[in-house]
């Protein structure tokens, strides 16, 4: 109980540092670029346009009665967030070693700062995303998306995804300290996961037994909940939303426990 209280006190005390670290990441990222922070919106928009072009025109992926563009985008924004946040978390501890070795700072701040940084970038991508939701589609084909009351559930989905990513981020930043190979291995894992997550295809094209396995992918849960609301205007079942939250929470706690157990050994390994 006391440690939990301490964590909260520390969290308050160091929230300013966290803010500074995130601001630093932003400033350094867009240093000397003419468009600056605008890239946070433009970059994903352009990458998504390329993907949309490739999958809907070249490979002719399409789904009956479904706004494929929104389908693709909703998968991509969550995927891109996950991929950016975990990639940044890999070096969250290793990359800040010059600090960790010299000044006392609670180390758990670094992975969270990286995930929040990616999270803010993610919020920027929501602007083009919702523009596409509103502007795309064709009412004659029934692919027009409408804003509905269930949009209120979207932040809950994102919260689940954020916690899930923070958990993975903690785990990755810890393992990287002891085993630098993870830097490369994670790239391979991400590529694999990218194809195993139904981002540009629908689960239904897979055999049933494979569908069952794929449904267990937490990223799919978040993406699918978002799609249910945005594309189909359905309310995802409470159980489904709770599952997303629960998985996120448990992952975060496990990641934190691993990080906490190992953090005193970091200084020996860098």
Question: Under the rule (CB under 8 A), what is the footprint of another protein?
Answer: 13-14, 16-17, 19-21, 23-24, 27-28, 31, 98-105, 177-181, 264, 267-269
Q: Using the minimum distance from each CB to another protein, give the nearer residue, 178 or 196.
A: 178
Q: Which residues contact 72 (CB under 8 A, 6 or more apart)?
A: 48, 51, 52, 55, 56, 61, 199, 200
Q: Using the minimum distance from each CB to another protein, give the nearer residue, 5 or 31.
A: 31
User: Nearest distance from residue 178's CB to another protein, in Å?
Assistant: 5
Q: Using the minimum distance from each CB to another protein, give the nearer residue, 13 or 212.
A: 13
**30: phi then psi, degrees, rounded to nearest 5:** -105, 15
**254: phi then psi, degrees, rounded to nearest 5:** -60, -45
Cα–Cα distance, 258 to 167 (Å, whole number): 10
Cα–Cα distance, 225 to 157 (Å, whole number): 7
User: Nearest distance from residue 253's CB to another protein, in Å?
Assistant: 23
> Could you tell me the two tokens for 46?
């352009």
User: Nearest distance from residue 14's CB to another protein, in Å?
Assistant: 8
Q: How far is C-alpha 229 from the chain's CA centre?
A: 18
Q: Using the minimum distance from each CB to another protein, give the nearer residue, 35 or 267.
A: 267
User: Nearest distance from residue 112's CB to another protein, in Å?
Assistant: 15
User: Nearest distance from residue 232's CB to another protein, in Å?
Assistant: 45
DSSP H helical ranges for 53-181:
68-90, 97-100, 109-135, 154-178
Q: How far is C-alpha 28 from the chain's CA centre?
A: 21
Hey, which bits of the chain come out as E strands? none
Q: Using the minimum distance from each CB to another protein, give the nearer residue, 82 or 110.
A: 110
């Amino acid at each position: 109980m006391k440690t939990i209280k301490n964590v909260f006190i520390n969290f308050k005390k160091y929230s300013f540092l966290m803010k500074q670290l995130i601001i630093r990441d932003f400033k350094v990222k867009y240093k000397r670029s003419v468009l600056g922070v605008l890239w946070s919106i433009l970059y994903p928009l352009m990458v998504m346009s390329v993907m949309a072009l490739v999958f809907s025109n070249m490979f002719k992926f399409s789904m009956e009665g479904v706004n494929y563009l929104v389908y693709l985008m909703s998968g991509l924004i969550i995927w891109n967030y996950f991929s950016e946040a975990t990639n940044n978390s890999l070096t969250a501890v290793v990359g800040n070693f010059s600090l960790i070795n010299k000044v006392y700072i609670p180390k758990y701040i670094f992975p969270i700062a990286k995930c929040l940084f990616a999270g803010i970038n993610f919020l920027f991508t929501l602007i083009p995303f919702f523009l596409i939701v509103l502007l795309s589609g064709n009412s004659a084909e029934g692919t027009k998306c409408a804003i509905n009351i269930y949009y209120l559930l979207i932040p809950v989905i994102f919260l689940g995804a954020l916690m899930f990513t923070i958990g993975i981020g903690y785990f990755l930043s810890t393992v990287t300290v002891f085993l630098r190979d993870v830097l490369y291995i994670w790239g391979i894992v991400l590529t694999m996961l990218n194809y195993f997550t139904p981002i540009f295809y629908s689960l239904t094209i897979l055999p049933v037994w494979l569908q069952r396995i794929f449904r267990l992918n937490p990223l799919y849960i978040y993406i699918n909940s978002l799609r249910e609301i945005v594309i189909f205007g359905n309310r995802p079942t409470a159980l489904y939303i709770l599952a997303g939250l629960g998985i996120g929470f448990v992952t975060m706690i496990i990641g934190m426990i691993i990080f906490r157990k190992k953090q005193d050994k970091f200084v020996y390994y860098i």
